[in-house]
Amino acid sequence: MSNHNSLNTLDNMRLSEGNKGLLNYFHKLLVRDTSKAVTLINQNSLSFPSLFILSPHIRNPYFFRYLNTRNKDALTLIKALKSKNFSRFNKIKQSISNSTSDLLKWILETGKNEDLSRGEYIEILDSCALILIREYKDNSILPTLKEIIYNRYKQGMFIHDMVWAFFECRDPNCILMLANNLNSEDGKDVELTKKLLKFIPVVRNNSLPSEILYKNVSYWFKENYPFIYYTGECFQQMPNPSPFEVSLDAKYLFKKVSNNGSIESTLTQNELRLMNIFDTLGVDSKILLSSYSSMLHKQNLYLWNSWIHLPIGEQLRISSSKLGGIPC
């Protein structure tokens, strides 16, 4: 429950009297005491939802000139977002004096808790998120996006584009950010986390208690971090998308994976030869070999060097005897 006393007067009005109450109050204030209306709307503490709701009243040229630069720029940006054209957005944003990314962040951070289910409001927040993540590569907004996703989910609202924006950060660390919600006491948080992280093998069969699941995800992440890459798969595309995957090739040779899933460094002739053989194996054998290779590399580099030069059949036999899998 927020403390209404510490809020801006207009935000307070919106939260206590609803959107219509705010509109009525502001409309009367405009007629009765315009300078007070200007003062209230220009306060630094004003949140984006109130500005958004009042925007039809304050867009007229007479009132617009009295708005502070933050409000003028925010309204200009909203217009630019509605243009549905990123080039036009870029042209329009040149006319504003505030930093575009700061304004987009202000919209998201002060607008994140608002449950306006109007399509236009959701669309503005989704667009701000996509621009910040995809175009400005600003991942500092991820915690806010995560909050919006979970809040919307609890209210049965649309989350696809926000989830897409979240994963578009392309940073595997965002997996752990989501996994933290497996520890939540709210069942809906846990439910959504399982849906979003279903691409992780240990989550797929998720009958385990959440706290054990969290530990398993953390272990999986630690083991695979250098080999995880972003695939771009999204919920619009298929029932069980894998936005991130583990490169088994990279894990087998213990090489860092690049953004597109290929091995980052140049391979030696011997590594290329191994890779060619590895590619012909079935997925179970690949998992077995890559898991053992990664484990051995961390435990004993000397032994790993000997093992990786053995024929693949021998590598499989040793991996299978140590890890318990069946070579296929």
321 binds another protein, rule: CB under 8 A = no
83 binds another protein, rule: CB under 8 A = yes
- Number of chain positions touching another protein (CB under 8 A): 35
104 binds another protein, rule: CB under 8 A = no
Say which DSSP state 60 is in: S
* Separation between Cα atoms, residue 220 and residue 201, nearest integer Å: 9
Judged by CB under 8 A, the stretch of 113-121, 184-192, 249-257, 302-310 that binds another protein is 113-121
Contact 193, 200 (CB under 8 A): no
Rank residues 61 and 239 by Cβ distance to another protein and give the closer one.
Answer: 239
Residue owning tokens 């032994």 = 303
117 binds another protein, rule: CB under 8 A = yes
Rank residues 83 and 113 by Cβ distance to another protein and give the closer one.
Answer: 83
* Separation between Cα atoms, residue 33 and residue 283, nearest integer Å: 72
197 contacts: CB under 8 Å, gap ≥ 6: 175, 178, 179, 203, 217
Closest separation between CB of residue 199 and another protein, Å? Answer: 12
Among 57, 79, 170, 195, binds another protein (CB under 8 A): 195
230 binds another protein, rule: CB under 8 A = no
Closest separation between CB of residue 137 and another protein, Å? Answer: 12
Residue owning tokens 């030869």 = 273
Contact 190, 206 (CB under 8 A): no
Contact 258, 264 (CB under 8 A): yes
* Separation between Cα atoms, residue 154 and residue 102, nearest integer Å: 28
Among 66, 225, 235, 254, binds another protein (CB under 8 A): 235
Binding interface with another protein (CB under 8 A): 81, 83-87, 89, 117, 119-120, 122-123, 126-127, 130-131, 134-135, 155-161, 164, 195, 232, 234-240
